[in-house]
Amino acid sequence: MQLGEAPPTPQGPLPTYLANTTDMCGRFSQADIAELDREVLWILDGLQTTTPRYNVAPSQEAAVIRHGGLGNRIDQLRWGLIPSWAHDPKIGYRTINARAESLTQKPAFRDSFATRRCAIPVAGFYEWRKTPHGKHPHFIRRRDRRAMLLAGLWDRWIDRVTGPLETFTIITTTPNAVVRPLHDRMPVVLPESGLLAWLDPRTTDPTTLGEFLVPCTDQELEAYRVSTHVNSPANEDPRCVEPVEP
């Protein structure tokens, strides 16, 4: 997703390379996932009620499902994966997404793909469509309005002053027919039936893992235009997802 000319995040302006890159899923909504996910996330122990988020942007924290301890759990991690070996945390600006086709080749993602996979529960995600009249934001969600589970990876980086920082990235793949008019990439949407296997670090078979890294069916999703109100990450309210007339 191209953020284009969207205003800066509360943490400061996005670097130029982040604003202009074409391989990006760069915003999503986690509004009301506590309600949407009652059936989807039944496997979680001690599911925490999360604060509704309508406009999650890179470098912000979001609810992430991962394996830990005796089972799966939801934690708040920062968006933009910082590998454990990184010397500069600014690498997280370049790793908000990971291409499915190169997970095993990229040093930033290779180890996490093997043992630190996660899922990001979302109500939907945003894409900006380029037109002669500017960039028009759209919201993509499931037709049945249930939560989507986006495939992701996570890692833990240690700062010698502030301590550990846990971060995540969203895996992208080629788009289906719903997303293709908006962008040439889309997040990997995990099937509910495969969530346990995806999160389990004991799942190591490349063929099994590769079966997840494909676009979801066209019938699962719908897209509609929303207001440019969503362009600013400072706007966190239901207006972000309200449909507008073309």
Residues labelled catalytic: 25, 127
Do residues 172 and 23 lie in contact, with contact meaning Cβ atoms separated by under 8 Å?
yes
Do residues 172 and 137 lie in contact, with contact meaning Cβ atoms separated by under 8 Å? no
Enclosing H/E stretch for 198: helix 195-199
Tokens of 225: 């235009």
* Contacts of residue 14, Cβ cutoff 8 Å, sequence gap at least 6: 3, 6, 8, 58, 93
Q: Under a CB-based contact definition with an 8 Å cutoff, are residues 3 and 16 in contact? A: no
Amino acid at residue number 127: E
Under 8 Å between Cβ of 167 and 77: yes
DSSP conformation letters of 90-137: GGGGG-SEEEGGGTTT-HHHHHHHHH-EEEEEESEEEEEEEETTEEEE
The one-character DSSP state at 7 is P
Lookup result for tokens 């790793």: 95
